[in-house]
A and B are shown apart, each in its own frame.
Chain A
Amino acid sequence: MRYPFPVGKSDFIQGDEAIARAAILAGCRFYAGYPITPASEIFEAMALYMPLVDGVSIQMEDEIASIAAIIGASWAGAKAMTATSGPGFSLMMENLGYAIMTETPIVVVDVQRGGPSTGQPTLAAQGDIMQAIWGTHGDHMLIVLSPSTVQEAFDFTIRAFNLAEKYRTPVVLLTDAEIAHMRERVYIPSPEEIELVERKLPASEEEAKLPFGDPHGDGVPPMPIFGRGYRTYVTGLTHDERGRPRTVDAEVHEKLITRIFRKILDHKDEIISYEEFMLDDADVAIVSTGIVSRSAIRAVKILRERGVKAGMVKINTIWPFDFDYIEQLAERVGKIYVPEMNLGQLYHLVKEGANGKAEVELIAKIGGEVHTPMEIVERVVG
């Protein structure tokens, strides 16, 4: 396999470009999208690369159709992705729920910009955290990852595909305009360096008849692929293990939805990822995610120079969220600060996790600029 970009070496590229290359290396062969700042460069790269790897990149009429197309492509056996920003992400909410309900592995990239509505197209924000988790209606579960560097944008995209395939679920890669457009030195591994996960396929006719069952007890049913010999019924309506609509049976509904929760929450130790910095003896903790984590790390270093025992946690998996870990953290430190580029979203998760064991304070910033390290330092030292 020849790749349309250098592999096994470092390159100097933007976050959007890194996401596109990672998707290609993860085996994505179907991309559908609608252009939007600051995610358009992902589409541009996919339009360039896909024909060269025998894949498909297609411009749909809008974002509703874009996510619909990748759901269909996934059922046809392709690893599939779309990318958008706030306004398009809002349009995708209904079909994101459909992908959850039909247990369709897809990757949806949301490059956050200032909102609501068309807001600030060129500027970064973290205002879609709650939307990524709870934007679609009904009880549901999915996975949300959040990179803080261009390298992580690459690495987490690969991981997003692996998690989507492994747990037969949509995965949202939640990044922002700053990472999308900044260039950093990134290592692009060669294919043999990358561990890829492929979805479970039915091992027998019996398994193929139960595309929404749980034959392995891990909550993840094998996924029959259209055109490979099995008749499969896929619906957003509440359905039984065979996929047939059963919309008024409480037991069927509860069994289906709790399994969709269980298949992710039972494996949350594997899905959840965070990184600690200088936390061992800390009595003040900063909890952040994405681009702001970079300023938070600098802030911790400055605070240490000033004699403040500060540490920080960078949250890589926003959802499922590790509430237990935050409670343990709260027991270790007296105070937790949450800097984020919105008026309080991650803050609410951290506060719930802290469970009253530590004071939690929000350091909110909106308007498009990332917190400077000093803005965080000044809040911590008062």
Chain B
Amino acid sequence: MMQIRLAGIGGQGVVLAGVILGEAAAIEGLNVLQTQDYSSASRGGHSIADVIISKEPIYDVMVTRADVLVALHQLGYDTVKDELREDGLLIIDTDLVKPDREYVGAPFTRIAEETTGLALTVNMVALGYLVAKTGVVKKESVEEAIRRRVPKGTEEINIKAFMAGYEEGLK
């Protein structure tokens, strides 16, 4: 079982990234649960998506001890950092999060702007990086999930951002 938590602020597409990761796991026939927690503000408040992926039945209803934490913003990181396992994997946007522990990461928002011209594709960049680093699902499954879940006409731009993050994660 892998417990993954994505944390950022409203507007970064954190929940959509969680849904797409979950959908990718479902496509592979894995058991998966996805929940979210966000403040009532549509932009600016904390936004968290939990994804639990397992070959076994999942009884948990939220991430209680994350194996992986992806932090896209300092506010999101500060809100949930204590729930990352001591030997868990911390992935951050290195421009926006100043962590107080070991981490990996890249300037996801900057990569998003440079790759697609749209900072809001940061969620796909981070998702690509996560998938490359953990191998929790195949990248082809994520591409399929992106096609199913993003608004029509934005599939290619989202996949481009995802691939940019994936390549970065392989470095």
Q: A residues touching B (Cβ–Cβ < 8 Å)? A: 10-12, 178, 181-185, 291, 294-295, 297-298, 370, 372-373
Given contacts A11-B26, A12-B22, A12-B26, contact A185 B32 (CB under 8 A): yes
Task: Closest B residue to A369 by CB, please name it.
Answer: B62
B79: which A residues are within 8 A, CB to CB? none
Q: Does B100 contact A (CB under 8 A)?
A: no
Separation of A183 and B61 alpha carbons in the complex (Å): 10
Contact between B34 and A183, CB atoms less than 8 A apart: yes
Question: Is there an interface contact between A370 and B61, defined as CB atoms closer than 8 Å?
Answer: yes
Once A12-B22, A12-B23, A12-B26 are accepted as A-B contacts, the answer to whether A294 and B34 lie under 8 Å apart by CB is no
Contact B64 A372 (CB under 8 A): yes
Min CB gap B23→A, angstroms: 5
On whether the beta carbons of B61 and A182 are closer than 8 Å, the reply is yes
Chain B residues whose CB sits within 8 angstroms of the CB of A298 once the complex forms: 59-60
Whole-angstrom CA separation of A366 from B23 in the bound complex: 31
What are the residues of chain A within 8 A of B23 when measuring CB–CB?
Answer: 12
- In the assembled complex, the Cα of A178 lies from the Cα of B29 at a distance in Å of 23
List 9 extra interface pairs beyond A12-B19, A12-B32, CB under 8 A.
A10-B26, A12-B26, A182-B33, A182-B34, A185-B25, A185-B31, A295-B59, A295-B61, A372-B64
Chain A to chain B: the 7 pairs with minimum beta-carbon distance, closest first: A12-B26, A185-B26, A183-B34, A294-B59, A12-B23, A182-B35, A298-B59
The answer on a CB contact under 8 Å between A370 and B26 is no
Contact pick for A178, options B25, B27, B35, CB 8 Å:
B35
For the complex, give the distance between the alpha carbons of A381 and B60 in Å: 21
Question: Which of A10, A182, A372 is the most central at the interface, judged by chain B CB atoms within 10 Å of its CB?
Answer: A182
The answer to whether B115 has its CB under 8 Å from any CB of chain A is no
Specify the chain A residue showing the minimal Cβ separation from B62.
A370
Nearest CB in chain A: distance from B53 CB, A: 10
Is there contact, CB below 8 Å, between B30 and A185? yes
- A residues less than 8 Å from B61 (CB atoms): 178, 182, 291, 294-295, 370
Inter-subunit contact B64/A183 (CB<8 Å): no
- The CA-CA distance from A183 to B22 in the complex, in Å, is 8
Q: Which of A185, A297, A372, A373 has the most CB of B within 10 A?
A: A185
Query: How far, in angstroms, from A12 to B16 measured CA to CA in the complex?
Result: 13
- Residue numbers in A under 8 Å from B64 (CB-CB): 372
State which of A10, A183, A291, A373 has its C-beta within 8 Å of the C-beta of B19: A183
Shortest C-beta distance, A174 to chain B (Å), equals 17
Indicate if B116 sits at the interface (CB-CB under 8 A).
no
Chain B positions within 8 Å of A182 at CB level = 33-35, 61
